[in-house]
Amino acid sequence: MKLNYRVILFSLGVILGLTFALPSLLQTDDGKKITLGLDLQGGLHLLLGVKTEEAVKSKIKSVAASIKHYTDKKDILIDNLSFNKNEITFSVVDADEVHFLKEFLSYKGLHLESINSSFKVSLLDKEILKTEKEAIKQAIETIRNRLNQFGLAEPVVAKQGEDKILVQIAGIKTPEEEQRARSLISKTAKLEIMAVDEQRISRVNRMSRIDAASYGDVILPSSNNENYKFLLKEIPILDGGMLTNAVVGFNKNNQPIINFTLNAEGAEIFGDFTGSNVGNRLAVVLDGKVYTAPVINERIGGGSGQISGDYTVMQAKDLAIALRSGALLAPVFVMEKRSVGPSLGADSIRSSLIALISGFILVIVFMVVYYRLAGLIANIALISNLIIILGVMSLFGATLTLPGMAGIVLTVGMAVDSNVIISERIREFLYEGKNIQKAIEDGYSNAMSAILDANITTLIAAIVLYAYGTGAIKGFAITISIGIIASMLTAIIGTHGIYQMLESKIAKSKNNHLWFGIKG
């Protein structure tokens, strides 16, 4: 009896699996552990509404910003550029330049009216409908990205009905955790770079919002002091749609700041504006509040900037997550909130564990009764398979849900199936009179194609489920995928190595009934 590379590899996999699984099995404070999903441990259940009309307004504002940048770049003089909920109006000073504007604005989705040098631009009805649908779709993706970056395990974020979003987050237990999660979900994270109206800023405290609107301006408060107001040009220079990254940094006073970078288009617009407005101020506006309004000392190239404010490191991290994952095209609001208790989870866990343990024991007993010592070897592989699954899930801090537990049960069945196929092939060759060494090698060779075909096709299906599924479906796909890979190690490599190690002993015993359940 001697060790071989298959036994060594199999043993190493089991030892590593057990090492990573122990913190979860013993519930120690050390190491990563498997977390339970909402259906098993409770958490937060939210139903969100989406203010799609705000997405339409943002779309119009974005078009107005594009017109402003285009005319500035081409040195086309325009007057009275303004917009309301669904309409932009302006006039061109030089009638000879009207055709440039018509060409620029003649893209799909806009309705253009022009009388002489006066323009009226609005969104088509189908474009409004498309914008509203995109706002809901984008909100789902953005919220899911934020919660994933936040570190929450497999949150469920899905469309509910025509215009609602269902959010389920497992493990939210304290009011502080709930408040932080809700803040991250609902934060619009709308970043805008806006020009300060230097001509009228001194009168901002005596000016009403209606007066400001008559000048094409808007009054916004400071993030540090609601009483301190800024008078800004209503049409932004650029918005957060051009942002590519946001990370937490620290200034010279060791206070947290957000460093952001823009894409190529945003960098060009930012560079052009700062280059032509040296000595003026620009404001970094986030969700309708001015965070910084520095003086432009020189052209700022490279498309990068900073957001500084009075916030903690944790708040800065959450803000960076919100910015990186993208601004919500439309604000969301909570329509329904429920805290899901763990009592259902405890019952579900108990029932699922009973099913898992019962099925596991029955399979083990059947394998020993039917295949004798070969069944015992298969059971060693089966137990090792379960240890490796738990170890890998613990290593990556995976979430276990009821569908995930079902995936483990299914994986156990598939692992047994592989061992049954191998044992039956070996028995067939022994019936034909082949010696034990030849029977084992031919048995594995013949069983290999059937096992690989079954496992690979199932693995492909699991990958598709993971790619397109959400929440608990992903959990099911993860456990199936890990289980398939583990079963390849245990059922094919592990048991093969054990048989090779015991070949001489099996050959000497001459008792095929004891080893493989063969009579006669």
pLDDT tens-digit map of 119-142: 888 888 888 888 888 888 888 888
> Is the domain of 334 the same as that of 352?
no
Residue 505 lies in a domain: yes
Nearest of 257, 256, 262 to residue 191 by alpha carbon:
262
Domain stops at, among 324, 339, 354: 339
Residue 110 lies in a domain: no
Domain stops at, among 339, 360, 385: 339
> Is the domain of 331 the same as that of 376?
no
Number of domains in the chain: 2
Two structure tokens written together for 50: 């989406």
Q: How far apart are CA 118 and CA 120, in angstroms?
A: 7
> Is the domain of 48 the same as that of 179?
yes
Domain stops at, among 291, 321, 339: 339
> Is the domain of 297 the same as that of 444?
no
Contact of 214 with 352, CB cutoff 8 Å: no
> Is the domain of 208 the same as that of 309?
yes
Other beta carbons within 10 angstroms of residue 267's beta carbon come to: 19
CATH of the domain at 246: 3.30.1360.200
Residue 112 lies in a domain: no
Q: How far apart are CA 430 and CA 357, in angstroms?
A: 33
- pLDDT of 342: 58
- pLDDT of 21: 84
- pLDDT of 52: 87
**Which regions of the chain are under pLDDT 70?**
1-3, 27-31, 38-39, 85, 107-109, 149-154, 325-326, 340-349, 470-472, 512-513, 518-520
- pLDDT of 354: 81
Q: How far apart are CA 424 and CA 177, in angstroms?
A: 54
- pLDDT of 471: 61
Residue 151 lies in a domain: yes
CATH of the domain at 512: 1.20.1640.10
Residue 318 lies in a domain: yes
Q: How far apart are CA 417 and CA 9, in angstroms?
A: 22
> Is the domain of 313 the same as that of 415?
no
> Is the domain of 269 the same as that of 223?
yes
Residue 67 lies in a domain: no
Residue 72 lies in a domain: no
Residue 487 is which amino acid? Answer: S
> Is the domain of 152 the same as that of 191?
yes
> Is the domain of 306 the same as that of 359?
no
- pLDDT of 460: 92
Two structure tokens written together for 195: 């020009």
- pLDDT of 419: 85
> Is the domain of 200 the same as that of 347?
no
- Degrees (nearest 5) of the Cα angle 113, 115, 118? 85
> Is the domain of 156 the same as that of 304?
yes
The predicted model scores a pTM of 0.58
Other beta carbons within 10 angstroms of residue 17's beta carbon come to: 25
Residue 103 lies in a domain: no
> Is the domain of 363 the same as that of 240?
no
Q: Which domain does 202 fall in, by range?
A: 43-53+128-339
Q: What confidence tens digit (pLDDT) does each residue in 360-418 have?
A: 888 888 888 888 888 888 889 888 988 898 888 888 777 777 787 788 888 878 888 88
- pLDDT of 107: 66
Phi-psi region of 302 (alpha: psi -120 to 50; beta: other; left: phi over 0): left
